[in-house]
Structure 1
């Protein structure tokens, strides 16, 4: 992952703590740079059940080198490559030969840096508090008593109230630095849905086999796959000796950590994980009719257990069953239903939603946990479209004000004084240009508006942040909804003063 500064206007931008590593995950190279791990250190990955041992070595540039010469930034990718299996949590897999796990060294690094004040000499403040929260969450997860909280409360540890792109990247990175993840994924559910902070995943080979309740119906059957045979173990010296003989390092894999997904997911819809009223296959028409009427539902799923989807009944399927045979059993009214994961991207499930009119939603345990309908989708995209349209109106009105009241040559001098952009007309102005022009006292006076220039341009800057979130499709938590009154008020003011 490339370095990125973190902030979306909800947290101070100055004096950010080194602890956050500019919003990225800790790397093995950070341990080397901090003097916690020396170049040339031998590492081992010991499998608990099989007893197999896989060797590796730390390179001078802080990568993990396998005996065949492959080099990796990520301990997890290195562990998968070494064994031919996976996935693994590499930080709790690799250990210094005769010493601690890499995870222990990583926590030592985090503890050390968290004690340091942020750059600029400011007090550590919220950074130290968050570090304490994360350390405690890891302790609780390791003790099999994980912390559960809402996504909103989790974001509060970072001083954020919504999941902009950069905030999501930082949250995911710092959770990973502490060996934590959320179940379900904090980016794929609603702000008021609850997530559990879990520790490093258990290696597949070391898991205890458990029976899983089977599913029926389309897209709902659980499958269990056997772990493939491990690749033959390489002799530790072979790859390193070949690298020395050729004078060249082994290949470096592209193994950057994944960033949190930014597209809207099924789980982001309010109804997706809010529970679902259902029937069993032994229900009666009277029960179905009553539940649908009392709740105002057009359909009900038929479940013989939380993961055993039999189908659904709808007003149409009930009417057709009864029309064909007045004495038809309830089972005749059960029609095919489709289930999707809460983590599926919303755009990917649109064809199924169009076909069925509704979709059942599975949570992280494959339980049917909610339902989404065409009405939910219409509300979702309607709420997204409204701020887009208002932003477009605002853009046009600002351009109109400037083009009708101000001189083009003076505007170009302010916005493109060096001529690099080759501005030649008002139509080429950007939103930033509008701010530049209207912030200028001389140009503002020409408008002859009885308004405060600073308050006006400050509001333009607030709306610029909203505009950026929308235009980059980062509005997962609907900042646009909160901005609608501001947009409407600004447009009304412009209409009043432009006629």
Structure 2
């Protein structure tokens, strides 16, 4: 037995018919009969034909919901219907998919249901199950936290027994729930827009790596939310828009993503997000991994100073001297790149003609797309000294120089060097002060056989070794053991996080605890 939620319209417009007629209803009025579909691809083709203005993400999302409604739900499954009255109705699916071709009131795609209870107080449902029911999707399964058994208990008039592992439950979805509520409050003309940094903070994280991305993406999918562009792209300061990508079409037959372009005067951020939506894949192939993109560098998102076609060459030269630039992009009136002027190109133009103008000194530019893999461009940047960055409209949106690479990779290497020195100093002091037999006693018996010196210890095992009173005393350090071990554990967690690939740099605040531990080790053992 499975448990589902089938909402009755964004504003509850189908609630009365659903409860009075004993049916589950979904929208998508432009679609015809889906009874003849056998696979998700069949439904996807029908959705794409009925809603030709929608992008691949929306088509894929809607197709998934409709496939679940038509094919995956089975008689005997339980279904919950959250009502606008803050009550919840619970029923048991009693029939297969039906299409009512003659209904003009939005009641065409239906399934029969036997309502077991229509007046369950939402406050009697524990917060984690309430949150699971709060998705913006029309059709979705309640699959976590023992949901099916709990919905069955509610249908029998019993209280929600709570999730099976309630003792271990941490309210991880509290903040994402607030995000969901905010998305509902913002308008289609000005949807919720925030930086990647602030978006990650909703989940209490500061950097993107695979485990974090999987958790966040699962939460977004469960709520029918999508970020445009994907939150995996760009730097931490990149602005992303959060919309109800899975919500069914409105009365005009358009999705929330498409409505971004339908406002009278959308903001620049909204328009950019809407344009980017056209390049998104559907929910089966949307990018969910982290790569080191050109856009991950801050300078790739800062529009560089430039000159325009027709400007005087002296304008370019003056700006280059004042700003200490080696080159300047040359743009046309639409903001598209026409080339670049550099000291080398100016020199060559003047050698050929002392009266050369800007056009004569303009040469072809190195130009990367913001979604390109940065590693593919490192050689070009090192050779030419720069690469200009374009957006999906082929407009210049940034400039990366060799100095940007130096700073970026210097920032990324620094934490590894710091942690390596901490490990080296721990290794030397343990080898010098603590006999190897006492070191082996501090680790697990299985590991002890492999430990012949401190070099064989993992970072975490240093804490086990130095926690022992005799081993700590052997160091002869006049510092607080408890605080030192706490700092060592904090550094271990930092090191583990560092080992997960992420395109996001480590900030000075994140680095400070490890830096403090290193300074303490240097003070205690200056000979190392």
* TM-score when normalising by structure 1: 0.68
Is the Cα contact below 8 Å between 2:210 and 2:501 reproduced in 1? no
Alpha-carbon RMSD: 4.2
Taking the aligned partners of 1:262 and 1:306, their CA distance within structure 2 comes to 32
Matching residue of 1:493: 520
Question: What's the counterpart of residue 417 of structure 2?
Answer: 389
CA drift at 1:484: 4.3
- Aligned pairs for 1:281-292 within 5 A: 281-292=309-320
Cα distance per residue 1:19-74 (max 9 Å; x no partner): xxxxxxxxxxxxx732448xxx99999795xx676658xxxxxxxxx736xxxxxx
Distance 1:153 1:469 in 2: 19
Contact 2:386 2:402 in 1 (8 A): yes
Deviations 1:260-306 (A, max 9, x none): 33233222212111222222221210121122223222111111145
Bigger proportion of residues as strand: 2
1:466-495 deviation digits (Å, cap 9, x = unpaired)? 21222233362314x435444343333323
For the pair shown, the structure with the greater C-alpha radius of gyration is: 2
Equivalent position of 1:345 in the other structure: 373
Deviations 1:438-462 (A, max 9, x none): 1222311222211111100111111
Match of 1:104 in 2: 138
Q: Is the 8 A contact 1:172 1:260 kept in 2?
A: yes
180-189 or 434-443, larger mean C-alpha shift: 180-189
* Residues 1:434 and 1:159: Cα distance change in structure 2 (over 3 Å): same
CA apart distance, 1:331: 1.0
Equivalent residue number for residue 182 of structure 2 = 136
Whether contact under 8 Å (1:92, 1:200) holds in the other structure is no
2:435 aligned partner: 407
Quick check: 1:174 aligned with 2:219?
yes
Q: Deviations over 1:294-326 (max 9, x none)?
A: 322211111114552211111111121112111
Q: For the Cα contact (< 8 Å) 2:229–2:241, is it kept in 1?
A: yes
Q: 1:437 aligns with which of 445, 455, 465?
A: 465
Which position in structure 2 is the counterpart of 1:127? 173
Q: Name the CA distance, whole Å, in 2 between partners of 1:181 and 1:345.
A: 23
Tell me if 1:322 matches 2:350.
yes
Distance 2:299 2:2 in 1: 48
- How much has 1:121 moved relative to structure 2? 5.9
- Whole-Å Cα distance in 2 between the matches of residues 394 and 304 of structure 1? 53
Per the alignment, residue 79 of structure 1 pairs with 44
How many residues are aligned here? 400
Structural mapping, 1:265-304, within 5 Å? 265-304=293-332
Alpha carbons of 1:370 and 1:46: their partners in 2 closer, same or farther (altered >3 Å)? same
Alpha-carbon deviation of 1:421? Answer: 5.7
Residues 102, 179 of structure 1: CA spacing in aligned structure 2 closer, same or farther, 3 A cutoff? Answer: closer
The 1:365/1:435 distance shift into structure 2, 3 A limit, reads farther
**How far, CA to CA, are the matches of 2:193 and 2:405 in structure 1?**
29
2:56 is paired with a residue whose SS is coil
Report the secondary structure of 1:271's partner residue. helix
Q: What aligned pairs does 1:81-230 form with structure 2 within 5 A after superposition?
A: 87-89=56-58, 90-93=60-63, 94-95=65-66, 96=69, 97=97, 98-99=109-110, 103-106=137-140, 120=166, 127-137=173-183, 140=186, 143-200=188-245
Aligned to 2:361: 333
For residues 169 and 266 of structure 1, do their structure 2 counterparts lie closer, same or farther at Cα, with a shift above 3 Å needed?
same
Q: How far 1:378 moved relative to its partner?
A: 0.6
CA positional deviation for 1:398: 0.4
**Superposition pairs for residues 452-463 of structure 1, below 5 Å?**
452-463=480-491
- Unaligned runs of at least 5 residues, structure 1: 1-31, 57-65, 69-74, 211-221, 226-254
> Residues of 1 paired with 2:41 and 2:186: CA distance?
23
1:242 counterpart residue number = none
> Shift in Å at residue 199 of structure 1?
3.9
